[in-house]
Amino acid sequence: MEFTNGVDGVEEAEGIVQRARTWSRSLPFLTDVLGNSLNDRLLFAVPKKGRLHQACLDLLHGSDIQFHRHSRLDIALVKNHPLALVFLPAADIPTFVGEGRVDLGITGRDQVAEHECIVPPTEMTGVVEVMDLGFGKCSLQVQVPQKGELANPDDLIGKNIVTSFTNLAEQYFRRLEAAQAGNATNGEATGGAKMKTNIKFVGGSVEAACALGVADGIVDLVESGETMRAAGLKAISTVIDSSAILIKSKHPSDPKLVDLITARLRGVITAQKYVLCTYNIERPKLEAACKIAPGKRAATINALEEDGWVAVQVMVERKEIAVVMDRLTEAGACDILVMKIENSRTA
């Protein structure tokens, strides 16, 4: 595997770990700058920029995690919890959380997988995935020019691949090469033999590599696919599906606070996913209506003063509410109302 900066995979792994250790050694200095304010605070890493940044800030705001970030600091003290937010590159967050330097973090599943390719988790190190946050959905895909003879991933064996995810790309093409050679065991490549496929690292604008003649194919993140199509590329395989996830250290400094923050984030995610639907219906028609919208656990049913009628309250997934309302109307429901859920605590 080839890197444009001239280091090999082992040195890259050492570099990532060294950045984490360097950052952790800077904590005493940061503590002095912040007036010892980091003492006894749980550290929560969030992406400092990029595609997940704003969604993370919105999630924290909805969870009533109150903070003010100074423009020149990548640490923000939370006002209403013994918590400090650490703003880091999304790619580095698995390292800091995995080494226990930070207790909690939000990053992409792709970043965790990329990190674990070169720093496999152990009993003491590595991250624990707490939950999928439901945003930042994308796929790491193998892409080739639309106009060309390359039609499947095997066609790229022995050719030039450009990517920002060199470790996942190497793992993927090693498996392809091993399978082609008949040396794969349960789909896993064996050994560390030199690869036929040449994998090059670039930090951005990966989609331009084929047009510029640098690559025969690329491995890059795809959300809507518009950028890929505009660059004249098509996807021929998916390496990994990804979305934003909450991760934690295997040994957090304050497990109870981790559980509290997790519950708050989950409450906001649930509130964003569901709406509250209420309607009135005659009791004989209730059973059919409850089959249409059974609720997250069960419907809340109250008798109306008018004999034979009940009021029903139920949580419905936001993406399904229009169809559910149509079906409830057909089942005899009336006075159907839908209300936004601001926050929640649900099982």
Residue 64 located in a structural domain: yes
Q: Give the Cα separation of 8 and 144 in Å (integer).
A: 25
Find out whether 239 and 170 touch, Cβ atoms under 8 Å: no
Residue 304's domain is classified under what CATH number?
3.30.70.120
Tens-digit pLDDT string for the chain (347 aa)? 444 444 444 455 455 545 545 555 444 445 444 545 677 899 999 999 988 999 999 999 999 999 988 877 899 999 999 999 999 999 999 999 999 999 999 999 999 999 999 999 998 899 999 999 999 999 999 999 999 888 999 999 999 999 999 999 999 999 999 988 886 555 455 556 788 999 999 988 899 999 999 999 999 999 988 989 999 999 999 999 999 999 999 999 999 999 999 999 999 999 999 999 999 999 999 999 999 999 999 999 999 999 999 999 999 999 999 999 999 999 999 999 999 999 999 87
Q: Are residues 171 and 235 in the same domain?
A: yes
Residue 2 located in a structural domain: no
Q: Give the Cα separation of 114 and 22 in Å (integer).
A: 21
Domain count, the chain: 3
Q: Are residues 291 and 262 in the same domain?
A: no
Residue 88 located in a structural domain: yes
Q: Are residues 13 and 161 in the same domain?
A: no
Backbone angles phi, psi at 32, to 5 degrees: -65, -45
Q: Are residues 173 and 302 in the same domain?
A: no
Instruction: Give CA separation, 62 vs 10, 57, 65, 72, 346, in Å.
Output: 41, 9, 8, 25, 16
Q: Are residues 146 and 206 in the same domain?
A: yes
Residue 346 located in a structural domain: no
Q: Are residues 71 and 115 in the same domain?
A: yes
Its pTM surpasses 0.85: no
Q: Are residues 68 and 177 in the same domain?
A: no
Domain final residue pick, 223, 253, 270? 270
Q: Are residues 248 and 130 in the same domain?
A: yes
Determine the structural domain holding residue 304 and report its residue range.
274-340
Instruction: Give CA separation, 307 vs 302, 313, 331, in Å.
Output: 12, 18, 19
Residue 170's domain is classified under what CATH number?
3.40.190.10
Residue 91 located in a structural domain: yes
